[in-house]
Structure 1
């Protein structure tokens, strides 16, 4: 061991100066300058004597002990103990120093890169902005992956999945295969499935964490047009004209003659390839409207389809078959922001005239239920969104049930629905 090494160990290598070396090393790891003063509260006599030996002068009185880092650096350089000063001395005593600030910046950059594709997609999808903030706040991605390098491919696949949602009726396995190259990538329990399901809840206007269970999972995917199988996606209808040539057509004809609601599966509708012939088809959001119409009108009820909240793949398929047959649509739903979002999706895809679903109708119904959620535009009646934001109450379909059934009983034309409003 050289004389310089012996002097360095004698001056700074003992237990009495370990606190000082620790403080300096921590500053170096954090990228902070080695300037100013460090202080040790309640210093022992041995610690005070060690600093006096180091600096060559008395270390002051009192219980605390303060050391100027600048003085230390100059002393080490001038004495030849460490030509590179305090920084060199600490490295010689304790080994290479980690650049914690640099490591932190590198980790931050790596995570930003991992999220880059997803963030680009979310930037154009404001309905996912809250969900993206939730991902960050909960740290769910970091819990599911060990590093940013592991998270990057997972988040890229997630972005590819979200770019296809909402869907017009896609099987979950096919969605996984076409976006991830693995038909099982969205199977329950997989990290990608966990993240994609939380995004599906966001798109459906549901809590991001949501409830567990297979039924809840199935409903969530169905709400954005993805079905786990052809039998779990359903649509409720009443009074739809069928035919006598196909199995599904005969079911509809029999249900219409009996005045009973009919539930069709996506499997049945996928196997039915010919359009359904109808003129005006009314669409409601809640099954209670169908039940009341069946109770009061029975076989005389005009064509009515229930969206059941966010339209499932089966709902979209049935509405598509009706549209192909020349049907036009009149829509009513809940006057809340979720209901407006549902209506906007149907309006964009199929078009409709509002069925008591305009500003005048909204203002006419007493309600004290608070309106919550993120506002959405109402392109079929722009004044409706303004009226809802101004009044700030929600109106559920059940509050106007008698009026809706009366409309069905009178079988008004689409023109009358458009112009009469609340009636």
Structure 2
């Protein structure tokens, strides 16, 4: 052992002064300056004598022992035990000390860089800002990808997926293949699928923190125009005239003549050439309206389409075909904020005429069901949103079923 090392061991290597070395090491790890004083409560006589030997003077009286780090630094430099001062002394005694403050700052910078592509994309999409805050609050990304190096490619492809949403109608495998070069990247259980599904829920106004089941997953993707398969995405209709030249048209015509509801798959609608005629098509939110209309009106029921809650890709496809054929739409749904969101989405895409779905109709129906959720604007009737917020009750479609059937009859 060299002479300077022996001197350092005599000054700071004893057990009685280990507390001082540990305090200094902790300060280095925290990135704090090695200045000022440190104190030890209830110091023993041997600890006090060791400090006095180090400093070459009395260390004061009292139960606690206070030591000036600047004074210790000067002693170490002057004695040659640690020419570079206190930080060098601690390193020589205990080994290198990791500056956790610097390390944490560097880690934060790496995480910010990993999130940078996503954050740049979201800057222009305020509808996803709450979802982005939720990612941070829950630590979901860090659970799925524990390090910035793992998270960066995951967030990059997530950004590419979000850039394609909402979609005009895309199979999920194709979306995955075109954005991730992996047709199964959005399969259930994959990290990317977990993140993308929560974003799809946020885009469609669904609770993105809830897991839900297969049906919730299907509806969430459908709300942003992505279908899991062509056969599970359905739309229920009654009284659409159809035609006698295409398979889908003939199915509609047969169902209309029989007065029976017709459930069309996305596969059937996707293979339909041309448009579909409909004239004024009434839209409802719940299948009970279609079933009741079929029971009461049969073949006399005018064109009626059920969106079945948030429209599936099949619903959007049918409405597109009807709109291309010159149809106009009259909408009725539940008077709650979910129903308002559905009506708004359809209104923004095609324009709607409210079918007993305005302020007067809302206020005319007695109800005791509390209205919950976040208020939304009602662009087809600017006063409706305020009336719902003031009254604070929800009115479900079933409560006005008799009135709706009367309208269909006339």
**Offset of residue 312 of structure 1:** 0.8
The answer for the alignment partner of 2:116 in structure 1 is: 116
State the Cα RMSD in Å.
2.0
The gaps in structure 2 that reach 5 residues or longer are: none
Distance 1:339 1:10 in 2: 80
Seen in structure 2, the aligned counterparts of structure 1 residues 61 and 311 have a Cα distance that, compared at 3 Å, is same
The answer for the alignment partner of 1:87 in structure 2 is: 87
Distance 1:375 1:156 in 2: 33
> After alignment, is 325-334 or 384-393 more displaced?
384-393
**Offset of residue 168 of structure 1:** 2.2
**Offset of residue 376 of structure 1:** 2.6
The answer for the alignment partner of 1:300 in structure 2 is: 300
> After alignment, is 110-119 or 316-325 more displaced?
110-119
The answer for the alignment partner of 1:413 in structure 2 is: none
Distance 1:302 1:73 in 2: 93
**Offset of residue 276 of structure 1:** 1.4
**Offset of residue 61 of structure 1:** 4.1
Deviations 1:217-274 (A, max 9, x none): 2233223221111101000111111222322222212222222211110011111113
Check if 1:22 corresponds to 2:22: yes
Deviations 1:308-349 (A, max 9, x none): 122111001111111111111111122222222221211111
> After alignment, is 10-19 or 21-30 more displaced?
10-19
Deviations 1:286-317 (A, max 9, x none): 21221222222222211111111221110011
Seen in structure 2, the aligned counterparts of structure 1 residues 69 and 282 have a Cα distance that, compared at 3 Å, is same
Question: For 2:311, what is the secondary structure of its paired residue?
Answer: coil
The answer for the alignment partner of 1:47 in structure 2 is: 47
The answer for the alignment partner of 1:166 in structure 2 is: 166
Seen in structure 2, the aligned counterparts of structure 1 residues 399 and 39 have a Cα distance that, compared at 3 Å, is farther
Aligned partners of 1:224 and 1:310 also within 8 Å: no
Distance 1:122 1:394 in 2: 33
The answer for the alignment partner of 2:331 in structure 1 is: 331
The answer for the alignment partner of 1:250 in structure 2 is: 250
Question: For 2:201, what is the secondary structure of its paired residue?
Answer: helix
Question: For 2:165, what is the secondary structure of its paired residue?
Answer: coil
**Offset of residue 165 of structure 1:** 1.6
Count of matched residue pairs? 410
Distance 2:284 2:125 in 1: 27
Question: For 2:260, what is the secondary structure of its paired residue?
Answer: coil
Aligned partners of 1:201 and 1:210 also within 8 Å: no
The answer for the alignment partner of 1:379 in structure 2 is: 379
Question: For 1:281, what is the secondary structure of its paired residue?
Answer: strand
The answer for the alignment partner of 2:313 in structure 1 is: 313
Distance 1:338 1:106 in 2: 44
The 5 A counterparts of 1:54-203 are 54-203=54-203
Aligned partners of 1:283 and 1:307 also within 8 Å: yes
Runs of 4+ in 1 over 4 A off after TM superposition: none
**Offset of residue 18 of structure 1:** 2.0
**Offset of residue 78 of structure 1:** 3.4
Aligned partners of 1:330 and 1:354 also within 8 Å: yes
Distance 2:75 2:113 in 1: 46
Question: For 1:236, what is the secondary structure of its paired residue?
Answer: strand
Distance 2:138 2:43 in 1: 43
Deviations 1:357-393 (A, max 9, x none): 2222223333343333333322222222333333333
**Offset of residue 144 of structure 1:** 0.9
Question: For 1:115, what is the secondary structure of its paired residue?
Answer: helix
Aligned partners of 2:283 and 2:330 also within 8 Å: yes
TM-score normalised to the size of structure 1? 0.91
Seen in structure 2, the aligned counterparts of structure 1 residues 355 and 271 have a Cα distance that, compared at 3 Å, is same
The answer for the alignment partner of 1:414 in structure 2 is: none
> After alignment, is 283-292 or 387-396 more displaced?
387-396
Distance 2:229 2:145 in 1: 29
Distance 1:32 1:304 in 2: 72
Distance 2:360 2:159 in 1: 41
Deviations 1:197-222 (A, max 9, x none): 11122223332243454343223322
**Offset of residue 282 of structure 1:** 0.8
Aligned partners of 1:224 and 1:311 also within 8 Å: no
**Offset of residue 12 of structure 1:** 0.8
The answer for the alignment partner of 1:9 in structure 2 is: 9
